[in-house]
Amino acid sequence: MIVLNTLEKIYLSGSEVIPNEKISKHTSIEIGGKVKALIVPNTVSSLLRSLEILESNEEEYRIMGLGTNLLVSDDGLDVFVLKTERLSAFEVKGDLIVSESGTPLKRLCEIAASLGLSGMEELYGIPGSFGGAIYMNAGAYGKEMKDVLEWVELYDGGKVERFSSKDLEMSYRKTSVGNRIILRAALKLKKGYSEGIYKRMKEYLRRRLEKQPIFEKSAGSLFKRPRPNFYVGSAIEKLGLKGFSVGGMKISEKHAGFLVNSGNGKFEDAIKLIEIVREKIKEKFGETLETEVRIWR
Ligand SMILES: Cc1cc2nc3c(=O)[nH]c(=O)nc-3n(C[C@H](O)[C@H](O)[C@H](O)COP(=O)(O)OP(=O)(O)OC[C@H]3O[C@@H](n4cnc5c(N)ncnc54)[C@H](O)[C@@H]3O)c2cc1C
C-alpha cells in the first residue's frame, strides 16, 4: 500500500494543489514569497476535507480570499495557504443573499442591484472576496459590512457553527473571527429599484476612481484611522511624504493613505517605509498608527 503525503491526500480530497507557489502571484500588491503549497478548494466540502487532513497532520495553514489586503514576506512562509476563490455559490431568499465566502464582494453588489436589493451601494468597488470583507469588516462612505450582515457560518476546529453578525463584535476594520474560517454568510438587504441602485453604485465607484490608485499595485489603505476624525492620508500628505519611496515601494501620488509597489518593490522596503511613516506621524501628531494591511511573516 502506498503511503500518501499531505499534499497527495489534499489533492484526493478534491482541492487543487500548487506546491511551492509564490504568493506574489495572488496578492494585489504583488509581493510574497513561496509557501509549502497553495490549496484551492473547489467546494466548501472539499475545503472541509482539506482542513481535516491539515489538522490531523498538525500542519500549519492560513486562509486568504483575493489577497487585496495582504503584505506577505518575500522569504515565504513554511505553511499551507488555502485560497477561497472557487467558493462562490450563492442563493437569494427574498431580501437575503446567502453566499459562500470566495465570491467577489463587487459581484455580490451587482447581483443585489440586478435584483433590486439595496444596502450595499457604498461598498461597491471594494476589491476582494466576501469572506475577506467580513473578516476585515470592510467599509466605505459610512457603510460597513456589519450593517448588512445577517449571519455568518464559521469553521472552528472540526465544527461548523452559525453566528449572528452581532456575535462577531464587528467594529472599524475589526471582528472577533480570529483563527476561525468563514464558510458562508447572509446579507440582509432592502427592496429598492435596480435603476436607482445602479446609479448610486456608479457614483460611489466614480468617487473611488477619482481618489484611489485603482490601477496601481496596492493592498488598500495602509493604516487604520487611529481615531474617527484623524485622516491618515491627509496627515501623511501634510508631512510632505506623498510620493516618498523606499526601494520600489512608494506612498501613492494619488492618495497618500495607499502604499504602492511601483516596480520591483520588496517586502523589507515596505516594512521600512511603514516604520518611517509611523515614526513621523507619532513625532508630528502624537498618534500611534496600526496597519490595516495584514502582514504575514
Ligand atoms: C485599490 C484598493 C481599494 C480598497 N478599498 C477598500 C475600502 O474602501 N474599504 C475597505 O475596507 N478595504 C479596502 N481595501 C482593502 C481590501 O480590499 C479589503 O480589506 C477586502 O475586504 C479584503 O478581502 P480579500 O478577499 O482580498 O482578503 P485577503 O486580503 O485575502 O485577506 C484579508 C484577511 O482576511 C482573512 N480572510 C480572508 N478570507 C477569509 C475567510 N474565508 N475566513 C477567514 N478569514 C479570511 C485573511 O486571513 C486575512 O487576514 C482596498 C484594497 C485595494 C487594493
Measured distance CA(35)–CA(116) in Å, rounded: 42
Residue 287 phi, psi (nearest 5): -100, 140
Q: Give the nearest ligand 1 atom to 135 CA.
A: 34
pLDDT value at residue 176: 97
Distance, first Cα to last Cα, the chain: 38
Q: Please identify, in words, the CATH class of the domain defined by 213-296.
A: alpha beta
Distance 258 CA to ligand 1 centre (A): 14
The rounded Å distance from CA 182 to ligand 1 centre is: 13
- How far does residue 168's CA lie from ligand 1's centre (Å)? 17
CATH 3.90.78.10 segments of the chain: 213-296
**Is the minimum distance from the CB of 218 to ligand 1 under 6 angstroms?**
yes
Query: How many Å apart are CA 120 and CA 118, to the nearest integer?
Result: 6
pLDDT-derived band at 4 (thresholds 50, 70, 90) equals confident
Residue 129 has pLDDT above 80, yes or no: yes
Span 147-173, pLDDT tens digits:
999 999 999 999 999 999 999 999 999
Decide: 297 and 73 in contact? Cβ < 8 Å: yes
What is the value of pTM for the model shown? 0.97
Of 38, 64, 225, the one to substitute when testing ligand 1's pocket (max ligand atoms within 8 A of C-beta) is: 64
Mean per-residue pLDDT over the chain, rounded:
97
**Mean pLDDT calculated for residue range 66-88:** 98
| Residue in the block written with cell 450563492 | 90
Phi/psi zone of residue 157: left (φ > 0), alpha (ψ -120 to 50 degrees), beta? left
Per-residue pLDDT band at 3 (split at 50, 70, 90)? confident
Which residue type sits at 159? K
Q: What band does 116 get if pLDDT is binned at 50, 70 and 90?
A: very high
Q: Among residues 210, 255, 213, 211, which one has the least CA distance to residue 236?
A: 255
Q: Is 135 in the pocket of ligand 1 (CB under 6 A)?
A: yes
Q: What is the pLDDT of residue 2?
A: 76
Mean pLDDT of 172-196: 97
pLDDT of residue 1 exceeding 80: no
* Residue 177 beta carbon below 6 angstroms from any ligand 1 atom: yes
Please give the distance, rounded to the nearest whole angstrom, from the Cα atom of residue 103 to the centre of ligand 1. Answer: 12
> Is 292 among the residues known to form the active site?
yes
- Where along the chain do the CATH 3.30.465.10 domains lie? 90-196
The arithmetic mean of pLDDT across residues 65-81, rounded, is 98
How confident is the model over 237-245, as a mean pLDDT? Answer: 97
- Whether 64 lines ligand 1, by a CB cut-off of 6 Å, is yes
- 291, pLDDT greater than 90: yes
Residue nearest to atom 3 of ligand 1 (CA): 220
| CATH code at 90-196 | 3.30.465.10
Q: Classify domain 6-83 by CATH number.
A: 3.30.43.10
